[in-house]
């Protein structure tokens, strides 16, 4: 019987410096170990630097763009610092995929509005590319994305690409004071710019991820625009460890984030204790 806690070995193929403290890692399975691997947008994995530790990160690339895995990691502590010290050719461990994915099949035929902030664009990127690669299955696709400053925007080449696509409406913003002399996008906080865009709630699903304070005010803005909780989807970041709903670290009331999430509708979150 396969050991569900034993990581697969992966090799770092490339490292992209997104911002001063965020890097994106492109990872390939060793020895063809990924031939049976598949995942869905919104799922996560447990990534480990041997001798340093293990941490959960969302899979940032689309299931339609593999067989490699990409993850974007912000340096905030010991394990993430160890990841930032990795170079192409280094070996890491990976367990997964785990968790519930975005309900992409339920979104078919709908307008989609992606609302992201900072590194929170990582899980949205997976779903956005997935939907772009299946473009004829969806109606309008809108992205509202922002960060504190131009320097804090991640996936800059892709932001430019989305901005030039005729069938994607990309609205980019930075906080007041975060613009530079070359900035041509919006200046304002993400919830404010979202209200300026004024997406219609009719036949629309909103997918949002970013700093908790941003999500809080995005939810208020969406309520002002008459979106129902069932139309809003987000992801939770918790201290997940086992990935299987066994250790209890990510327990919130009756739910385990690693098992019942990390993707939740806002309606589902409203039924959970306020500690989330």
Report the CATH number that the domain containing residue 191 is assigned in CATH: 3.40.50.80
- Please state, in angstroms and rounded to a whole number, the distance separating the CA atoms of residues 233 and 263: 7
pLDDT per residue as tens digits for the range 131-148: 999 999 999 999 999 999
pLDDT per residue as tens digits for the range 59-113: 999 999 878 999 999 999 999 999 999 999 999 999 999 999 999 999 999 999 9
Q: How many domains does the chain have?
A: 2
Query: Which residues constitute the domain of residue 203?
Result: 111-235
Task: With respect to residue 25, please indicate whether it lies within any of the assigned structural domains.
Answer: yes
Task: With respect to residue 178, please indicate whether it lies within any of the assigned structural domains.
Answer: yes
Q: What percent of the chain has pLDDT over 90?
A: 85
- 93 and 118 co-located in one domain: no
> Which residue ranges of the chain lie beneath pLDDT 50?
1, 276
Task: With respect to residue 3, please indicate whether it lies within any of the assigned structural domains.
Answer: no
What does the pLDDT read at residue 1?
47
- 86 and 126 co-located in one domain: no
- 79 and 46 co-located in one domain: yes
Task: With respect to residue 250, please indicate whether it lies within any of the assigned structural domains.
Answer: no
- 153 and 128 co-located in one domain: yes
- 84 and 120 co-located in one domain: no
What does the pLDDT read at residue 276?
47
Q: Whole-model pTM?
A: 0.95
What does the pLDDT read at residue 240?
81
What does the pLDDT read at residue 75?
96
């Amino acid at each position: 019987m396969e050991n569900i806690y034993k990581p697969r070995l992966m090799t770092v193929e490339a490292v992209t410096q997104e911002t001063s403290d965020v890097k994106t890692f492109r990872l390939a399975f060793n020895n063809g170990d990924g031939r049976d691997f598949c995942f869905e947008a919104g799922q996560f994995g447990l990534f480990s630097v041997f001798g340093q530790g293990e941490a959960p990160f969302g899979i940032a690339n689309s299931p339609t763009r593999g067989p490699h895995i990409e993850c974007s990691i912000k340096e905030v502590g010991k394990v993430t610092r160890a990841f930032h010290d990795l170079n192409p050719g280094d070996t890491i461990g990976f367990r997964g995929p785990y968790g519930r994915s975005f309900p992409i099949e339920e979104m078919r035929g709908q307008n989609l509005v992606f609302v992201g902030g900072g590194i929170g664009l990582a899980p949205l990127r997976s779903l956005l590319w997935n939907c772009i690669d299946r473009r004829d299955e969806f109606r309008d696709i809108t992205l509202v994305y922002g960060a504190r400053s131009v320097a804090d925007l991640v996936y800059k080449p892709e932001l430019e690409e989305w901005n030039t696509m005729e069938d994607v409406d990309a609205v980019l913003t930075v906080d007041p004071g975060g613009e530079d002399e070359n900035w041509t996008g919006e200046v304002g906080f993400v919830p404010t710019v979202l209200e300026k865009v004024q997406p219609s709630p009719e036949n629309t699903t909103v997918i949002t991820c970013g700093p908790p304070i941003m999500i809080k005010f995005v939810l208020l803005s969406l309520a002002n625009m008459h979106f129902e909780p069932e139309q809003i989807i987000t992801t939770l970041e918790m201290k997940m460890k086992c990935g299987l709903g066994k250790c209890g670290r990510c327990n919130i009331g009756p739910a385990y984030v690693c098992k019942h999430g990390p993707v939740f509708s806002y309606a589902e979150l409203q039924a959970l204790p306020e500690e989330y």
